[in-house]
Structure 1
């Protein structure tokens, strides 16, 4: 018996439904479909271009059908009870079609064993609103606790699904949701990737109503102010964070320490994440931690960042039976980040850790990798796992590097060495300057007088520094700053003279000779080959 069809779809049903391409013992498979009798499944994906649901060719076979995939076709409508012969159907995929209406709330009735329904990627917004109304109006099927509905990639802004108490998994990814109100209260798994800007307050409000939620995916969302703080959930087991582009620094303690049952955490493919901090003392039930594929992530701090206790508090902590780090962490993945130094911090105290993966990082072979090397030997790491840990500074597998080559330079010692060198250099420069300055002053204080008629050098502390030299009219005293002309037989002290210009004769200058009674002037005669000073006496 065929499905009820309206007149407009009669011709298409004849052409597309009843042409067989595969023969079962008891029935036929629709053209361009793949039918598997062993697992009782039918797949009619593109390019089938079906316009109607091709079921009821053989009720004996299709009555046992478990999986039906009609995605990527051109089905525009679903009629009342069109799946009534498939009461054992478990999975139904109707995504990527041209659905514009469902004729009644009994389209999916009765499907008591249905666990998965996908209606994503519909372009008609009226259909989507109407479909959500059908969900809210009545239970479309006897939902089990494991039932799943996929409504991703639609235009859903508001939800009215409170009454679907048996729904276990709901995928609302890539919908412009305005809020998280209207979700089924018994929901256990929720996908909210690429929905809208997410804030801590909106998530906490959702957690308060979804007390059975175990799994949450909030990937590809923008967090308000680029951070998540003080999230609280006493039911969540697994949290997935991927591709949150405005996340730069993830303080896991501040964000998730109140998720007391968290067992699995993924922070992956964060394009701008640079630093992660986590104190494992806040996550006693965490078993799986994956911080991978964050290509700008250069720092992961596993240290205990609690305030330093007083002596009395420290004694109380040590005497406490909970002094040792309590953690159930079994697997740590830090793959394909930008880590050059791995400091295990509190990770080294986790006895439950079974696997750690660090491949794909530009690790430096220093003392921080000794713990990893010992861990791999202690846990009997497989060759594959061991070979994945390699260094960029020493292009060898970690297992082949002797521990004496895994050393760290004492940064504090290096700092003191640098400071010592700088102080030594500074002292040398200062000493050199002082020596030069002192020598110059001593030279300035020494007065050298050379008598043209004598062969010895006489030093007179009481006279100006300079040099006597012979001229045709007498002896010339050469000062460091100017020329002072006088006779060597003058016993008066020579005082620096002030140069005076004669305004009447531009090329003539007067030089005062201190206490000398007479004044002299110079006429500079410039010739083609040399300059010559001639001295004229003025009475």
Structure 2
């Protein structure tokens, strides 16, 4: 019995041990089985769930052995690979993502990825590839993302991407690229996003880009292109986003550069533009976002952006902007965001906007703002308009440096005011200058804000500081007429205006004509009161005694000279009259008749005949 009990207890203990360790033994056998089927190269990290093999930064000189055939994601970045051969990846037909970036690859053999029909992402970034021959991407029919940036590629050959019909994203930047063949992008039927940056291109590859009929976003950054030609982006009918950034040599955008595009977003930043590209933007009625930051645009003229009816956001940060004229954003009913921070603006008037109440965000910080009545509409609108970027006043002295959010109603009524312009010389002036001399008509005005001065000429022409040529208006209000002419005479009206009102001053200019013995100069005297209904000024003509005497004398001298010349001809003719014979004797012999008969004997004996002619 005792032996039976011992034997029974032994069986019970053995059963207990087996039942307790059975799960652990199962896991051990499962691990051995999985390890034998997947495997993992030494020094690499593998994931059985995602079927990924990561050999990042392992200093491998070649593709390691032991990579499972069912691998989908393979990361071989930051190693020492020098070349890719056609048989390197033939054992991994299920590969979907391949990262070969950060190696020292200098050449990729044609057909290197020939069997990878399932691959959708390939990165060859940051290698030493100089040329990609035809056939390298053959077989990658399902590839959607390709990155060949940061290499030493000099040229893109014709049809080098022709098999990538499903490619959507292409990175080509940061190469030594100097030329893109006209058919280099042929076959990229599905490409949506293209980035070209940090290359040696000197012109936009218009012909090459024209094959990308489904391109949506084009990013052109850090290029040395100095000129944009008309129709530079032709046939890109689906292009919606265009970025031109860091072109330091670009100083002008011609009128038809963007013609034919249906852009919704346009960035032209960090260039040498010195004026707002009004004409180029007229062809973009669907534009909603415009960024012209970090250029040298100093002025925005009024009424020049009326075609941008869908524009919602306008950014002009750090553009050296000094003036935004009234009605500058006329027609922009959809404008919600305006960012003009970090400029040189002293004010932003309400009359600039079509719908100022529709603004949601207004960023005007880091500008030398003059806090007067022109900014009252902004101060009363609320501080939420500025977000965290609160603008500050540069003047007047009492509120200098104070952010807008600190202004109370009493403070506004005391400091934020305007005064009507006042012209110091408030009496009508009369200025007389000689013809050809310089004429200076002065009009100095003061007021808050500083008044702008313009002039009205006798011919009703408005003269401003933008007028160029012989007549200019200086910043201090002085009208300068270089080399005055007689027709400049008349009454000029100076108009000084600001937000509080206007002031005027009349100045009469008389230009004296310089008489000459050889030219008949006519003086024009303009009567300011003699004005017709259509605004034209009457002109009277005056002749002085000196002009009449000179003209009479010159006529007499001409007549006497002609008479004297006629007498001289008669005298010469009469002197030679007696030296010539008046009579001429003519002798002739009659000819026989043509029929051969003889003339009669009387005529034959008579001999030659003679007659006399007298010269009359």
Distance of 1:390 and 1:36 partners within structure 2: 54
Aligned partner of 2:172 in structure 1 is: 172
Distance of 2:383 and 2:46 partners within structure 1: 42
Structure 2: runs of 5 or more not aligned: 1-31, 363-380, 395-399, 419-448, 456-472, 479-493, 496-503, 509-616
Which residue, out of 210, 214, 217, partners 2:216?
Answer: 214
Aligned partner of 1:78 in structure 2 is: 84
Alignment check: 8 A CA contact 1:164 1:184 kept = no
SS of the counterpart of 1:206? Answer: helix
Distance of 1:346 and 1:326 partners within structure 2: 12
Closer/same/farther in 2, CA of residues 384 and 55 from structure 1, 3 Å limit = farther
Q: Deviations over 1:32-55 (max 9, x none)?
A: 656667766555443x21212246
Distance of 2:77 and 2:202 partners within structure 1: 31
Distance of 2:60 and 2:44 partners within structure 1: 10
Distance of 1:37 and 1:348 partners within structure 2: 62
1:98-497 aligned within 5 A: 98-102=104-108, 105-123=110-128, 125=130, 128=131, 131-135=132-136, 139-144=138-143, 146-160=144-158, 161=160, 163-166=162-165, 167-173=167-173, 174-187=175-188, 188=191, 189-199=193-203, 202-203=205-206, 205-224=207-226, 226-231=227-232, 232-235=234-237, 236-250=239-253, 253-256=255-258, 258-270=259-271, 272-278=272-278, 281-294=282-295, 296-301=296-301, 303-304=303-304, 325=307, 327-343=309-325, 345=327, 347-367=329-349, 371=353, 374-376=357-359, 383=384, 385-388=386-389, 390-391=391-392, 393=394, 395-397=401-403, 405=416, 408-412=449-453, 418-419=477-478
Distance of 1:185 and 1:28 partners within structure 2: 41
Distance of 2:51 and 2:327 partners within structure 1: 53
What is the CA distance between 1:79 and its match in structure 2? Answer: 4.0
SS of the counterpart of 2:223? Answer: coil
Alignment check: 8 A CA contact 2:327 2:352 kept = no
What is the CA distance between 1:284 and its match in structure 2? Answer: 0.9
What is the CA distance between 1:352 and its match in structure 2? Answer: 2.6
Alignment check: 8 A CA contact 2:41 2:66 kept = no
What is the CA distance between 1:168 and its match in structure 2? Answer: 3.0
Closer/same/farther in 2, CA of residues 325 and 300 from structure 1, 3 Å limit = closer
Alignment check: 8 A CA contact 1:34 1:44 kept = yes
Alignment check: 8 A CA contact 1:365 1:406 kept = no
What is the CA distance between 1:366 and its match in structure 2? Answer: 4.3
- The TM-score normalised by the length of structure 1 is 0.56
SS of the counterpart of 2:169? Answer: strand
Structure 1: runs of 5 or more not aligned: 1-22, 306-323, 428-539
Alignment check: 8 A CA contact 2:383 2:405 kept = no
2:75 paired with 1:96: no
Closer/same/farther in 2, CA of residues 409 and 101 from structure 1, 3 Å limit = closer
SS of the counterpart of 2:387? Answer: helix
SS of the counterpart of 1:71? Answer: coil
Alignment check: 8 A CA contact 1:95 1:119 kept = yes
Distance of 2:43 and 2:229 partners within structure 1: 49
2:53 paired with 1:50: no
* Aligned CA-pair RMSD: 4.4
Q: Deviations over 1:37-77 (max 9, x none)?
A: 7766555443x212122464445xxx3534x3323220123
Closer/same/farther in 2, CA of residues 413 and 76 from structure 1, 3 Å limit = closer
Alignment check: 8 A CA contact 2:113 2:138 kept = no
Closer/same/farther in 2, CA of residues 31 and 368 from structure 1, 3 Å limit = farther
SS of the counterpart of 2:329? Answer: helix
What is the CA distance between 1:108 and its match in structure 2? Answer: 1.8
1:20-39 aligned within 5 A: none
Distance of 2:39 and 2:342 partners within structure 1: 52
Alignment check: 8 A CA contact 2:75 2:98 kept = yes
Equivalences, count: 365
What is the CA distance between 1:389 and its match in structure 2? Answer: 6.0
Q: Deviations over 1:320-361 (max 9, x none)?
A: xxxx85632232222233223344745342233333323333
Closer/same/farther in 2, CA of residues 221 and 33 from structure 1, 3 Å limit = same
Closer/same/farther in 2, CA of residues 417 and 179 from structure 1, 3 Å limit = closer
Aligned partner of 1:509 in structure 2 is: none
- The TM-score normalised by the length of structure 2 is 0.50
Alignment check: 8 A CA contact 1:49 1:72 kept = yes
Distance of 2:331 and 2:49 partners within structure 1: 51
Distance of 1:95 and 1:158 partners within structure 2: 19
SS of the counterpart of 2:155? Answer: coil
Distance of 2:325 and 2:60 partners within structure 1: 58
2:72 paired with 1:65: yes
